[in-house]
Structure 1
Amino acid sequence: MNERSTTIVQGSEIADYPEIPPQARRGRALRVTEIGEDVLHRRCRDVTDFGTDELTTLVDDMFATMLVAEGVGLAANQVDVDLRLFVYDLTDSDGVRYVGHVANPDVEVLDLETEENEEGCLSVPGPGADLFRALHVRLRGVDIAGAPVEMTAHGYLARCFQHETDHLNGRLYVDLLSKRVRKRVLRDMEDMREEVLDRRDEVSAVHGKEPAIYSGR
């Protein structure tokens, strides 16, 4: 008999969580901003207005965008919104699924241990590169109602939290690479971008979403 898989939503275990989060079902698929756009290269503004319909809609749209783009995390500036907010939906190597959102995140590295794994980014469509990240972190922030959020993360989840918080500080993963590797990644992106965007259109159709419009197509 297969054991029931574990899903952690906003830091709490949830039984019978759907494969597609309800936010993703409600939301619209938005255009993912791409490297070079100003909103990706500066620190985002803190969220100060909580419990609003606008913030709820933004989270819904970010989950839908992440679903269509087949990502595991997405920051608000990746949908052209200048706010310190990210969403995530990933399954780690132990089969535990983590789903949630965090506003005004702060990541604390808990020890010196690091791990190298391939990392990619929806705003650098296509390629990835190996990158060292801290293996253990603590995430602190608030949810869209303003309630405190605190989670300790290890491995893949820790990498996601660091990657998305970096986004909100105006830093992409390619900024952490050597010049040679960064140049290779950007060259590969040029070759792979159209294929990636075609795939997003296909996934949009599968989920009944209007595909986002990207320049140069």
Structure 2
Amino acid sequence: MTIKPLIILPDPILRQVSNPVEAITDDIRRLTEDMLETMYDAPGIGLAAIQIGVPRRMLVLDVSKEGEEKQPRVFINPEIVASSSERSVYEEGCLSIPDYYAEVERPAAITVRHLDREGKEHIVEADGLLATCLQHEIDHLNGVLFIDHISKLKRDMVIRKFTKSAKARGTKAI
């Protein structure tokens, strides 16, 4: 397994819509292992493939609490098939937007259809932190960042800050 470098705002790849995984191959399974290793190293609770520069519809997550046994989960070609009308608010952060957090309102419960590492289809009913994390990571697969769910003023401030930082490092900007 390999820890991959994270793509950081304002890199334009974060706005790219990811392509479906056509076949579950050994390379795809290896990529899920690299993604989990990268997520745990960061440390984070979720990671979409696009965050390591791979525009594929894949994400990994682990919402187990600190001190509990790890519960890594892999979602390939995830699709939200139902959302509750009830809403919930969580403070979100993102490995691609380090050290910035904001309250985001999303559906409180969702149903997600996806494939596992072996290509078997699953339906997951999620609420709480799992629902929030899944929505956050699926947004990444669609080129959407959690800052797109906050006020334009706050979003513009965050983008300006990260663009300035990227220019200072000599890296890509949106």
Larger Rg: 1
Tell me, yes or no, if the aligned pair for 2:56 and 2:141 is still in contact at 8 Å.
yes
Alignment counterpart, residue 183 of structure 1, candidates 126, 131, 156: 156
Alignment counterpart, residue 35 of structure 1, candidates 2, 5, 9: 9
Tell me, yes or no, if the aligned pair for 2:90 and 2:132 is still in contact at 8 Å.
no
Shift of 1:216: 6.0
1:110 and 1:97 mapped to 2: Cα distance? Answer: 27
What TM-score does the superposition give when structure 1 sets the normalisation length?
0.70
1:96 and 1:67 mapped to 2: Cα distance? Answer: 13
Alignment counterpart, residue 77 of structure 1, candidates 27, 45, 50: 50
1:117 and 1:184 mapped to 2: Cα distance? Answer: 20
2:77 is aligned with 1:117: no
Shift of 1:28: 1.2
Equivalent residue runs for 1:68-217 within 5 Å: 68-91=41-64, 98-186=71-159
Shift of 1:188: 6.1
Tell me, yes or no, if the aligned pair for 2:81 and 2:111 is still in contact at 8 Å.
yes
Residues 191, 66 of structure 1: alpha-carbon distance in 2 compared, 3 angstrom cutoff = farther
Tell me, yes or no, if the aligned pair for 2:110 and 2:125 is still in contact at 8 Å.
yes
Residues 37, 46 of structure 1: alpha-carbon distance in 2 compared, 3 angstrom cutoff = same
Tell me, yes or no, if the aligned pair for 2:116 and 2:122 is still in contact at 8 Å.
yes
2:45 is aligned with 1:45: no
Tell me, yes or no, if the aligned pair for 1:127 and 1:192 is still in contact at 8 Å.
no
Mind listing any 5+ residue stretches in structure 1 that lack a counterpart? Answer: 1-26, 194-214
- CA RMSD in angstroms comes to 2.5
Q: How many residues align?
A: 168
Shift of 1:118: 0.7
The structure with higher relative contact order (CA 8 Å, sep 6+) is: 2
Tell me, yes or no, if the aligned pair for 1:109 and 1:134 is still in contact at 8 Å.
no
Q: Deviations over 1:122-176 (max 9, x none)?
A: 0011111111011110111111321102110011100001000000011111112
Tell me, yes or no, if the aligned pair for 1:44 and 1:169 is still in contact at 8 Å.
yes
1:88 and 1:216 mapped to 2: Cα distance? Answer: 31
1:216 and 1:146 mapped to 2: Cα distance? Answer: 40
Letter of the 1:48 partner, please give it. E
Tell me, yes or no, if the aligned pair for 1:114 and 1:132 is still in contact at 8 Å.
yes
Same amino acid, percent of matched pairs: 34
Tell me, yes or no, if the aligned pair for 1:102 and 1:149 is still in contact at 8 Å.
no
